[in-house]
Amino acid sequence: MKISRFILIMLLGVLLVGSVSCGGAGLPKPTVGYVPQGWSVLSDHTFTTCLGYEEGVLIYGDGELQSPNSVEIHYEDMYDASSAVGGIPVTDVDRIVDLAIRNLEFDSTEVEESGKMIVSGRIAGYAKGYDPVGDNYELILICFKGPTRLSLRALWEPTFEDEADVMSLINSISF
């Protein structure tokens, strides 16, 4: 009983130390130069993971509860600037496109379009699809700048104006 109590106390100590936020001072936060009219920042957080690398999230949206119009920008420092996820080299954009496709399919959205695009002067892999259940479009985009990975998830209603708002915000991102 004493040994299991000791192990439990040690595990709790490790979890508490690992979950303490260091404030994200070293992670460069992306900036957004254009925010569509009626949109605002819904979330802006940085934190240090229990594994010791920094992550952050910025979420922009139009604030309407029934509207899917939003852009989530996730950014993180990578342990090894030469690899992305699962050993994918940062320079292998085709494999980064495949990763974006897998992320979109994980959200149960059928891929209609995928490829490469430029975000903040960097080549990014993306996948786009329409979700008939939610009646919205979804875009997953992944790119790298040195050791920083930017993963973006955008949702918008199926109108030209909403897609233009989302793409204008995405095209104004710099990191």
Residue with the two structure tokens 């309407």? 64
Q: Could you give the CA distance from residue 79 to residue 82 in angstroms, rounded to a whole number?
A: 9
Average pLDDT over residues 119-137: 90
Residue 105 structure tokens: 């399919």
How much is the pLDDT for 111?
A: 92
How much is the pLDDT for 47?
A: 83
Distances (CA, A) of 56 to 116, 121, 151, 152: 24, 21, 10, 12
Q: What is the CATH number of domain 21-174?
A: 3.40.1000.10
pLDDT tens figures, 2-60? 444 433 333 434 333 343 334 445 678 899 999 999 999 999 998 887 777 789 999 99
Q: What single string gives the DSSP state of each residue in 130-162?
A: EETTTTEEEEEEEEEETTEEEEEEEEE-SSHHH
**Domain residue spans in the chain?**
21-174
Q: Which long-range contacts (CB under 8 A, 24 or more apart) does 165-168 make?
A: 165/36, 165/39, 165/69, 166/69, 166/71, 166/139, 168/34, 168/36
Average pLDDT, rounded, for the chain: 79
| Least confident stretch, 9-18, 39-48, 120-129, 131-140 | 9-18
How much is the pLDDT for 88?
A: 53
Residue 125 structure tokens: 């892999």
